Amino acid sequence: MSAIADNLQAVQARIRDAAVLAGRLPESVRLLAVSKTWPLASVINAADAGQKAFGENYVQEGVDKVAATRDRPLEWHFIGPLQSNKSRLVAEHFDWVHSVDRLKIAERLSAQRPAQLPPLQVCIQVNVSGEASKSGCAPDEALALCQAVATLPGLSLRGLMAIPEPTDDPAAQRTPFRQVREIFEHIRAAGFPLDTLSMGMSHDLEAAIAEGATIVRIGTAIFGERNYS
Ligand SMILES: *Cc1c(COP(=O)(O)O)cnc(C)c1O
């Protein structure tokens, strides 16, 4: 077995253990393999090991991998910061976007989604780290943004995404995830049928699953340490 296949099994085991500990079904948590900075060969390797859903942060890198894997039934998620001038490429190539944090981007993605494709599946990114992060809408803006996004025909509103400030303390890791879940419950109570909480990365997936994550976005624990040079 390849190292990537081994790592995928180890991450699936972490997900299973965390779900069971939280009294949840392991199948209620999906693994998104974050392949940013890794070559196509790594994606193919993971796909050969059974991985279906992949996440990318950089538009052109992601589009290249989507195009190169058209012959496989993979699902592609855009999870990085999105600039207006790149929205068309994302609308045309990806299945999901986790990082919608303002109405203007949502409107562009909806208008640019090709009519022959299913609606783009979207999450609203919420900033629960305050000043420390520039990405994500403020928690008190999330409901209004969901209300507006829910009316856009090219999009299907699925839930919320968050990237809390990293910390090694497991108890402290849970606090921002709990905050996101509370916002999620508040929006659901207002009548929006959200089913997705995209939260948890290699170092904090257990805390995220304990607080209700339904998609964990895992890069390092599958592919290894990234080299940005
Ligand atoms: C890079 C990245 C991940 C994966 O992080 P790891 O710590 O490598 O698991 C998840 N989500 C987003 C938004 C990312 O940019």
pLDDT tens-digit readout, 134-158 = 799 999 999 999 999 999 999 999 9
Name the H helices within the chain: 3-21, 40-48, 59-68, 87-93, 103-112, 142-149, 170-189, 205-210, 220-223
| Structure-block tokens of residue 187 | 């929006």
pLDDT at residue 136, as a whole number = 96
What distance in Å separates the CA atoms of residue 173 and residue 208, rounded to the nearest whole number? Answer: 8
Mean pLDDT, the chain, whole residue set: 96
Please write the tens of the pLDDT for every residue from 64-122: 999 999 999 999 999 999 999 999 999 999 999 999 999 999 999 999 999 999 999 99
**Strand duo 75-78 + 53-56: pairing:** parallel
Do residues 162 and 211 touch, judged by C-beta distance below 8 A? no
CA-nearest residue for atom 12, ligand 1, is 79
Structural domains of the chain sorted by starting position, each given as residue range(s) with its CATH number in brackets: 3-223 (3.20.20.10)
Atom 7 in ligand 1: residue holding the nearest Cα = 202
Give the residue, out of 4, 11, 31, 34, with the most ligand 1 atoms within 8 A of its beta carbon, to mutate for a pocket test: 34
pTM for this predicted structure: 0.97
| Separation between Cα atoms, residue 126 and residue 139, nearest integer Å | 6
Separation of alpha carbons 94 and 174, rounded Å: 30
